Structure 1
Amino acid sequence: MKQSLELNKEIFREMVKFYGETLNIPPLAAKIYAYLIFDFEKKGICFDEFVHVFAASKSSVSANINLLLNAKLINDFNTIKERKRFFRINENYINIRFEEIISRMKKEILILDQLNEFRKSKDQEEFQKFEIYRSLLIKNIKNIEETLHKI
């Protein structure tokens, strides 16, 4: 089986490393995800191509595809002409990724507020640092939310 996508190997390696770390996914899942990004026409990649391209076992490929599907990072579909399932990047991945970032920042604000309340410090310098950091989180949340509404 021939590889259907043209890759830039250096960019591919950088993407695998970046998405592995950023999305906290195993190496094979990061490779599959990065490979799908090179499917610019969104035609989809079949399961057998992943097995061939990555020289991985069917069970490993299947487990990592399921991980990506469950994380909603990729979608699967079938064509009328074939029984094979094809996979492509979830077009809403930007929203999913940044909604997770917003959720984490909101959770951090809640934890910081609880910690600040518990501490009951009278130190104005420490309180100002806390407020600056809290304000930065709130501004970033607002900025990301506004940007997502535009996309």
Structure 2
Amino acid sequence: MELTQQKKQLVEEVGLVIEERANLSPLASRIYALLILSSNDGLSFEAIVCTMQASKSSVSNNINVLLQLHYVDYYTKPGDRKRYFRTSHFYIKNTLEQQVHLIEKELSVVQKINDFNKNHNPEKFKNEKSLGLLFEEHLEDQCANIHQKLKAIEAFQNQA
């Protein structure tokens, strides 16, 4: 499978973002990016190995990680022994759920910091109250926005 230069660059760019955001290996991130940028038909294992120019065992190990995380799934075609890989129908939902989980953890810590400073460092809380509360509000807004998008995704999936 020959990639255009534009697609190669985009796989690399998307892969770097995924690597950082999802804490995946560089190869898993690029495989995932490749599948995001591929058709719904997905790609065969051989096509992924050829495109990634990596060993079969490395590609296999990284695909297994992506399968376990439910980022990708696979299917077979009748009469064809090959497995075809594609992004999971839930990959956007999974990504948003991971983001909201991290934001909620951070929000909990920020609320504890604000409460602690209010009770134990009243002068600091008085001087920095607006900053801590603005950040808390920002995190709450992000959570609410992501929850709203998750409901919209769920409604979309129920229509399909």
- Report if aligned partners of 1:78, 1:86 keep a CA contact under 8 Å in 2: yes
Which aligned segments of 4 or more residues in structure 1 are displaced greater than 6 angstroms?
none
Q: Percent identity?
A: 31
Between 1:9-18 and 1:84-93, the stretch displaced more is: 9-18
Q: Which residue of 1 aligns with 2:122?
A: 122
Which protein has the bigger helix share?
Answer: 2
Distance 1:5-1:89 versus aligned 2 partners, 3 A rule: farther
Q: Which residue of 1 aligns with 2:156?
A: none
Q: Which residue of 2 aligns with 1:50?
A: 48
TM-score normalised by structure 1 residue count: 0.87
Cα-Cα RMSD = 1.8
Give 2:15's aligned amino acid. Answer: V
- 1:131 offset after TM fit, Å? 1.1
TM-score normalised by structure 2 residue count: 0.83
Q: Which residue of 2 aligns with 1:59?
A: 57
Give me the whole-angstrom Cα distance separating, in 1, the residues matched to 2:137 and 2:107. Answer: 9
Give me the whole-angstrom Cα distance separating, in 2, the residues matched to 1:47 and 1:21. Answer: 25
Give me the whole-angstrom Cα distance separating, in 1, the residues matched to 2:49 and 2:11. Answer: 17
Distance 1:81-1:4 versus aligned 2 partners, 3 A rule: farther
SS at match of 1:36: helix
- 1:114 offset after TM fit, Å? 2.5
Gaps of 5+ in 1: none
SS at match of 1:76: strand
Give me the whole-angstrom Cα distance separating, in 2, the residues matched to 1:85 and 1:17. Answer: 26
Q: Which residue of 2 aligns with 1:146?
A: 148
